[in-house]
A and B are shown apart, each in its own frame.
Chain A
């Protein structure tokens, strides 16, 4: 599974757009890119998933360049409630097991007034 690298932390203010980039140089052909949000003492929450180009849903956008060696999660207008840890997970899940699903360190986003 592709190892991921993210910034450890980011700070922002309410109403700002936040972009969090994840590097995954060893991404494989069949790998998808998935972003999760985690609050303390809760399970990760699915935000968005993509394979290439751009994906947008009601909460975020995901930008993936042509070489797919990185991806950027874009949160359009953050609020205090977006303060959380954000993880990118890259992989092609093999239901047969032997998966190396490795979460990176994640990015602690802190949003202030």
Chain B
């Protein structure tokens, strides 16, 4: 149980384009999901908290207009990186909350050229 998927697993895009990443809880409903970013050899950094049916809560320093989050259902949250630039290249990981435990997706590798 408690399986979380992400799509795509990796994506390459040109600078200035937008990229959407999906996060799905496959066998449970998640009112709350989280989005993290991880740079090479570094720990995970929380970007935002996504709550179904309401606006996401962003961490300090994370631009809400650049990283658009939509949590339209109890099993799906999406992260859209708008006008991507090379510095946005990173490993993006989502998690879904089940009781007091976060279950993580496999991650999405984004490379912006």
- Chain A contact residues, CB within 8 Å of chain B: 32, 34, 36, 41-46, 49, 87, 89, 92-93, 95-106
Q: Pick the contact of B97: A45, A93, A103 (CB < 8 A).
A: A93
Please determine whether A49 and B100 come into contact, CB atoms closer than 8 angstroms: yes
Please determine whether B97 and A44 come into contact, CB atoms closer than 8 angstroms: no
Is B51 interfacial (CB 8 A cutoff)?
yes
Contacts beyond the supplied A43-B95, A96-B57: 18 A-B pairs with Cβ under 8 Å: A34-B100, A34-B101, A41-B91, A41-B107, A41-B109, A43-B104, A43-B106, A44-B44, A46-B101, A49-B100, A87-B44, A93-B97, A93-B100, A95-B32, A96-B51, A97-B57, A98-B57, A104-B43
Please determine whether B103 and A46 come into contact, CB atoms closer than 8 angstroms: yes
- Inter-chain CA distance A89–B102, complex, in Å, is 10
Please determine whether A49 and B101 come into contact, CB atoms closer than 8 angstroms: yes
- Chain B contact residues, CB within 8 Å of chain A: 2, 4, 6, 31-32, 34, 36, 43-46, 49, 51, 56-57, 91, 93, 95, 97, 100-107, 109
Please determine whether A42 and B107 come into contact, CB atoms closer than 8 angstroms: yes
**Closest residue of chain A to B58, judged by CB?**
A97
Please determine whether B100 and A101 come into contact, CB atoms closer than 8 angstroms: no
Please determine whether A93 and B102 come into contact, CB atoms closer than 8 angstroms: yes
Please determine whether B31 and A95 come into contact, CB atoms closer than 8 angstroms: yes
Please determine whether B97 and A46 come into contact, CB atoms closer than 8 angstroms: no
**Closest residue of chain B to A108, judged by CB?**
B41
Please determine whether B109 and A95 come into contact, CB atoms closer than 8 angstroms: no
Chain B residues whose CB sits within 8 angstroms of the CB of A97 once the complex forms: 49, 51, 56-57
- Inter-chain CA distance A49–B2, complex, in Å, is 14
Q: Pick the contact of A34: B4, B36, B102 (CB < 8 A).
A: B102
Please determine whether B46 and A45 come into contact, CB atoms closer than 8 angstroms: no
Please determine whether B43 and A103 come into contact, CB atoms closer than 8 angstroms: yes
CB distance from B98 to the nearest CB of A (A): 10
Chain B residues whose CB sits within 8 angstroms of the CB of A102 once the complex forms: 46
Q: List 26 A-B contacts (CB under 8 A).
A: A32-B101, A34-B101, A41-B107, A41-B109, A43-B95, A43-B104, A43-B105, A43-B106, A43-B107, A44-B95, A44-B104, A46-B103, A49-B101, A89-B102, A93-B97, A93-B102, A96-B51, A97-B49, A97-B56, A97-B57, A98-B49, A98-B57, A100-B46, A101-B34, A101-B46, A103-B44
